[in-house]
Structure 1
Amino acid sequence: MTTYSADPNLDLVLERTVDVAPELVWKAWTTPELIVQWFTPKPWSTTSCELDLRPGGKFNTVMRSPEGQEFPNVGCVLLVEENSTLVFTSALGAGFRPQVTEDGFPFTAVVHIEPAGTGTKYTATAIHADASAKKAHAEMGFIEGWGAALDQLVEVAKRL
């Protein structure tokens, strides 16, 4: 099992315990048909998801604003440890191909899940290249947005 120690100067961390089994949290994170149901905090939506669940595989989503504007997000899966850890990045495209991001900043996400009683301890860490990227992501509402998306994930997982 891979663990990551967050750097408080560069990383943002959302950690919560949720009342669904780790296997269901994993399924919600790794099934494109489920990802589109919860991944983007409402009133935004995720209109599509392509996920090749292997290192070097693509993790692409398209998010839609309430006004209908679409925002493609192209990324690469770095690590897959079933029912435990998913790591992906926007700094690379499929096949570990470096890419230039037009707006925003690249970051790497580490999603770690582990059993906690009858539920799941969920830790999502956003890793940034520098303090200014961390600050920009925090100001965009990382904790609130990823927290709202986690609530939506739990709703979806409870229906499985």
Structure 2
Amino acid sequence: MSTTEADRGIAVEIEQEFAAASDRVFAFWTEPEALARWFAPVGYTTVAAEADARPGGAWRLDFRSDDGRHAYTERGAFLELDPPHRIRLTLTQVDGGQSNPETVVTVEFDEVGTPDAPRTRMTFRQTGYADVERRDQIAEGWRGCFAKLERALGTNDSQQVSIDKR
């Protein structure tokens, strides 16, 4: 599927706030060591992480279930980086020998706090799903990942503002 085709279809949309500056939240999306701390669903551990954070640069994360029975990979390319405001990337999940369709993820970071109390509103959108059931499964996984991101950022007071299931 081309990137243009992946931009269409059913979308996951999540908006969440973190008690951290936007440049710090942005870095957790682009630095391999930071990605490894949160970019895996609950019950999984990242075993390898790579990120060439530039337009056209590749990224990849390999995960293993905590019980060791299941492993998968998520990979793609950065399409756009506007630090610390916006990231756009492709994402393909490989489960066993099967690659799922390519999706497009757009993440925007807006400063909503103050210098003394930094706060970032992250608006997440992933497009390219053909059915609502799969989209809902993926949305649940992202909610778990974003809870891990919150912990990795050293915060515990994120506020999930909305989830729009189109």
TM-score range, shorter chain: 0.7 to 0.9
Q: Deviations over 1:45-72 (max 9, x none)?
A: 2111110011111011111123322212
Q: Which runs of 5+ in 1 are unaligned?
A: 1-6, 92-100
Q: Deviations over 1:10-32 (max 9, x none)?
A: 21101112222112111211110
Question: Counterpart of 1:73?
Answer: 74
1:138 corresponds to which of 135, 144, 149:
135
Q: Distance in 2 between matches of 1:66 and 1:54?
A: 31
Q: Distance in 2 between matches of 1:111 and 1:36?
A: 18
Question: Counterpart of 1:82?
Answer: 83
Question: Counterpart of 2:53?
Answer: 53
2:105 partner SS: strand
In structure 1, give the amino acid aligned to 2:144. Answer: A
How high is the TM-score relative to the length of structure 1?
0.77
Question: Counterpart of 2:108?
Answer: 112
Aligned pair count reads 140
In structure 1, give the amino acid aligned to 2:48. Answer: S
Q: Deviations over 1:67-92 (max 9, x none)?
A: 3222122211111111111111136x
Question: More deviation in 73-82 or 9-18?
Answer: 9-18
1:26 and 2:44 matched: no
Instruction: Identify which of structures 1 and 2 has the higher relative contact order when contacts are C-alpha pairs closer than 8 Å and 6+ apart.
Output: 2
In structure 1, give the amino acid aligned to 2:25. Answer: V
Counterparts in 2 of 1:139 and 1:47: CA distance versus 1, 3 Å: same
Shift of 1:8: 9.5
Question: More deviation in 65-74 or 50-59?
Answer: 65-74
Q: Which runs of 5+ in 2 are unaligned?
A: 1-6, 156-166
Question: Counterpart of 1:97?
Answer: none
How high is the TM-score relative to the length of structure 2?
0.75
1:9-24 equivalent positions in 2, closer than 5 A: 10-24=10-24
In structure 2, give the amino acid aligned to 1:105. Answer: P
Counterparts in 2 of 1:65 and 1:111: CA distance versus 1, 3 Å: same
1:39 and 2:39 matched: yes
Q: Distance in 1 between matches of 2:34 and 2:81?
A: 18
Q: Distance in 2 between matches of 1:32 and 1:18?
A: 20
Q: Distance in 1 between matches of 2:77 and 2:8?
A: 24
Q: Distance in 2 between matches of 1:42 and 1:156?
A: 13
Q: Which runs of 4 or more aligned residues in structure 1 lie more than 4 Å from their structure 2 counterparts after TM superposition?
A: none
Contact 1:14 1:123 in 2 (8 A): yes
Would you tell me which structure has more helix in proportion to its own residues? 1
Counterparts in 2 of 1:10 and 1:157: CA distance versus 1, 3 Å: same
Contact 1:59 1:88 in 2 (8 A): no
Question: Counterpart of 1:96?
Answer: none
